[in-house]
Amino acid sequence: MICVSIARGRHRHVLAEHRFLAQNGVELVEIRLDFLQTRMDVRRLMRDRPTPILFTIRRPCDGGRFQGSEDSRQILLRSAIAEGVDYIDLEDGVAAVIPRYGSTKRVVSYHNFEETPEDLEAIFERLAAQDADIVKICTLANSPEDNFRILDLVEKKGKILPLVGFCMGDMGIPSRVLCPSLGSPFTFACSDKRNAVAPGQVPFEEMLQWYRVNQITRETKIYGVMADPVGHSLSPLIHNRAFVERGLNDSVYLPLRVPKEDVGAFLEKAPRKWNLRGVSVTIPHKEAVLPMLDEVDTSVRVIGACNTILWQEGRCVGTNTDYQAAMESFAEVANAAIPQHIDWVEPLDDPQTGEVRGKPLSGMTALILGAGGVGKALAVGLGRRGATLILTDVDQLRAESLCSKLQEDGLSSQVVPWEERHFAQPRLLVNATPLGMSPKVRETPFDGSFLRPSMLVFDAVYNPEKTLLIREAEECGCATVGGLSMFVRQAGLQFQLFTGVAPPLEEMKKVVQKALQASEW
């Protein structure tokens, strides 16, 4: 069950939001009385309530806004109990001095906004001893290990007394989603992102529709995107939508913020702790995970980076869907009946030997702007298909390092300084930098006056869907490939690897487009 926090300044706004939430399937709300800016009228808030209510009056030291004395706060807590509120939140220590009365259920809580302490079991015992009906322990996650520990506590101690337990912060989101499946009577969500009352709180619509929290069980197959940071990622949206479209109610996809120093421990523990079956890997882990894999396929061997990990029969297997998605996106446009037509049909990599079956780009020059992970995947793919590569990056040492690696692999490549990129006169132009990405939509990595109609222009940026580079290329008459095509294709390839089911690519694309349009407002 999901408990949605309501934090409004006026009673009428609280009442309106409560009705709205109930109409949208919410079964329990927490009303944060400490956010009210007028005299608290608990009777008014309880009258004709459409769902049960948990009243909370949080002190500043516990992350709240109550400005009165502690005596006056405790009087308000007692009055709410006397009025017969369904649940009351009583902090550690306070619960010991406020006696039970009537039918109100007591949620005895502990909040730590700095860390997840080592003595979680002792904290549980202390809270449970204060005449608790439900114990609530919320701590800040500073590592993925904190999520493991808090969920272990929920599963173990929840058999003794109902325990709501999860970690706060963006690193703690997996524990917010998974705790009900391990016995927590409910988890918390906010009405929308603007009204979050704790770090890492997720809007209830996402909890219900994306993560389908009420359907998750101990046997649910877990997937996710492993990154640092991870909050900007649209991968949870696109994969969870695909699960819904294909009726895969036994699967969920989570944002997994994993710092670089924790990657090894996370990959070792998560498959056992959470039934983790696969992860998407992105910045900054695509190369760091390589020593931790038991097996890699051709795409990882030729690129030297991994963006997808699967656990198969106890083995950790790596692949790279960026590579194939980029080549398929290019080929789909290039092989169409356009002036820039190229006879190019994917896939061209032999899955067994890794050899390329054809080189449709022989005699053509590709200018790669950016020598990071995406630039590397695109350079390898285009180079293996016969293109002569020109690399450039604001960090010339990075471009030179990639050039040396490509030359070692027998691919024709050279480096030009970033300031000289406009004089390369390529047939294929690739942007693998973040230039032009929202909110800096007026930036472009390549001056439009140097574009030529004979070019095929690819931009890996997908937010906005049409960057300034793509718009100027279209105006010039170039053939264009947008980053959204590559993003959806790589996610679709991952989905098929995860589930063995064909991905609903059109629905995946629509949900991303909708999210991008919403972000523009």
Digit-coded pLDDT (tens) for 99-128: 999 999 999 999 999 999 999 999 999 999
Please report the pLDDT score of residue 517 as a whole number.
80
- pLDDT at residue 354, as a whole number: 81
Global pTM value: 0.91
Q: At residue 245, what are phi and psi to the nearest 5 degrees?
A: -60, -35
Backbone φ, ψ for residue 284 (5° rounding): -110, 35
Q: What is the percentage of the chain residues whose pLDDT exceeds 90?
A: 88
Report whether 224 contacts 255 (CB < 8 A). yes
- What is d(CA 498, CA 29) in angstroms, rounded to the nearest whole number? 36
Of 18, 136, 273, 376, catalytic: 136
Phi and psi at 37, nearest 5°, equal -100, 0
Is it true that the peptide bond before 99 is cis, omega within 30 degrees of 0?
no
Span 332-340, average pLDDT: 95
Q: Which member of 11, 239, 286, 376 is catalytic? A: 286
The answer to whether 53 touches 88, Cβ cutoff 8 Å, is no
For residue 521, pLDDT over 50 is answered with no
Q: Give me 324's structure tokens.
A: 């194939």
CA distances from 64 to 59, 68, 70, 194, 276 (A): 5, 12, 13, 16, 35
What is the rounded CA–CA span in Å between residue 494 and residue 480?
24
pLDDT tens string 467-497: 999 999 999 999 999 999 999 999 999 999 9
Q: Predicted confidence band at 302 (pLDDT cuts at 50, 70, 90)?
A: confident
pLDDT value for 513: 92
* Residues 447, 324 contacting (CB under 8 angstroms): no
Spell out the residues 6+ positions from residue 27 whose beta carbon is closer than 8 angstroms to its own.
1, 2, 51, 52
- Work out the average pLDDT over 292-319: 91
What is the percentage of the chain residues whose pLDDT exceeds 70? 99
Q: Which of 11, 18, 111, 285 is catalytic?
A: 111
> What integer best gives the mean pLDDT of the chain?
94
Number of H helices, E strands in the chain: 16, 20
For residues 314 and 391, the model is more confident at: 391
Mean pLDDT of 172-194: 95
Q: What is the pLDDT of residues 29-61, one digit of tens each?
A: 999 999 999 888 999 999 999 999 999 999 998
**pLDDT, tens only, 195-209:** 899 999 999 999 999
Average pLDDT of the segment spanning 410-419: 97
Q: Is it true that the peptide bond before 453 is cis, omega within 30 degrees of 0?
A: no
Q: 30: which strand partners?
A: 5, 54
Q: Side-chain half-sphere of 424: how many Cα atoms within 13 Å? A: 29
Residue 520, pLDDT score: 54
| Rounded Cα gap, residues 91 and 98, in angstroms | 10
Q: Is 262 a catalytic residue?
A: no
C-alpha–C-alpha distance, residues 426 and 390, integer Å? 8
Active-site pick, 62, 228, 322, 459: 322
pLDDT confidence band for 518 (50 / 70 / 90): low
Segment 236-255 mean pLDDT? 96
Residue 519 confidence class, pLDDT cut points 50, 70, 90: low
pLDDT for 154 beyond 70 = yes
- Whether 111 is catalytic is yes
